Copies of this chain bind each other. A is one copy, B any other.
Amino acid sequence: MLERRRTRLIAAADAPLRAAISDAAPVPRMPDDGDELRFCSTCAFGSVCVPHGVDKAALGELHCLVEHVGPYRSGQRIFHAGDRFGAIYAVRGGTVKTSLTDDEGREQVLGFHLPGEMIGLNAIHPAKYPCDAIALDTAYVCRFSFPALATLAMRFPGVQQQLFRLLSADIGKAALLAGDHSADERLAAFLVGLADRYAARGFSHTALRLSMARSDIANYLRLAAETVSRVLRRFQDQRLIAVEGRDVVLTDAAALRHLARNIVHG
């Protein structure tokens, strides 16, 4: 359903992703039991349940409270800025961008979210979503009612811990944007950060497909789209990467990492 054939070169870097999606598609709401492994393999709460081996009971209850929603088509909103906060979401398949639009109508991209990553954590405090969440391709998400989750966390220390960790991790994420770094550093950090996040989910460490437009990347990195184009071109000339449309291969990841060395996270 998603883009049919992926070209050679990167080949099907997102094949496992599509597999996950096709798995998810026929499961519109309640997860069936005996599905734990698959459920946890991509989910941000997987680490509550599987790796730590504790709170097996919590897993069952999470299953009951999670709601699978989607598909969202490219461009569709999962939630709107200003909506009353009621749930946090985990991306299950596809890519989601979060952004906000200021008075003058200028968009400000806050982040891109891959399968397994949480969105909506920054809505707890203001009690309403402070940004839009928009699907960049066909996307599926898991909805966790926050009151229910908080109640669950009261009973399972592992769940509470994981929530604290997820929240804490997000605080540091803005570091990429925060520092005053050159366009080269930003782009290098963006690419290796994305590659690392894909790699952590079982995809290739060096080949990736950008699901967002150049203008979104530029906006996210606080650069002009033209600058993104030029830097990518230069990286290619320097044999750091191979670019073909939205497919990128990191041919010299070490050099990219060196460029990005002063930017924590991705």
- A residues near B (Cβ < 8 Å) are 100, 102-104, 106, 108, 110, 121-126, 130, 150, 153-154, 157, 160-161, 163-174, 177-180, 222, 261-262, 264
Q: How far is the CA of A261 from the CA of B172 in the complex (A)?
A: 25
List the B residue with the shortest CB-CB distance to A109: B178
On whether the beta carbons of B171 and A178 are closer than 8 Å, the reply is no
Given contacts A172-B122, A174-B178, A177-B177, contact A160 B165 (CB under 8 A): no
Q: Which residues of B sit under 8 angstroms from A160, Cβ to Cβ?
A: 150, 153-154, 160
On whether the beta carbons of B264 and A168 are closer than 8 Å, the reply is no
**Which of B123, B124, B172, B178 makes the CB contact (< 8 A) with A178?**
B178
- Identify whether the interface residues of A are mostly helix, strand, loop, or mixed: helix
On whether the beta carbons of B168 and A122 are closer than 8 Å, the reply is yes
Q: Which residues of B sit under 8 angstroms from A104, Cβ to Cβ?
A: 262
Q: Which residues of B sit under 8 angstroms from A103, Cβ to Cβ?
A: 261-262
On whether the beta carbons of A124 and B168 are closer than 8 Å, the reply is yes
Q: How far is the CA of A122 from the CA of B170 in the complex (A)?
A: 8
Interface centre among A124, A161, A168 (most CB of B within 10 A): A168
**Which of B126, B161, B180, B264 makes the CB contact (< 8 A) with A150?**
B161
Q: Which residues of B sit under 8 angstroms from A173, Cβ to Cβ?
A: 171
On whether the beta carbons of A126 and B172 are closer than 8 Å, the reply is yes
A and B contact pairs by CB, cutoff 8 A, 18 listed: A100-B264, A103-B262, A104-B262, A121-B171, A122-B168, A122-B171, A122-B172, A124-B167, A125-B168, A125-B172, A126-B168, A126-B172, A150-B160, A154-B154, A163-B164, A167-B167, A174-B177, A178-B178
On whether the beta carbons of B102 and A262 are closer than 8 Å, the reply is yes
On whether the beta carbons of A123 and B168 are closer than 8 Å, the reply is yes
**Which of B168, B177, B262 makes the CB contact (< 8 A) with A121?**
B168
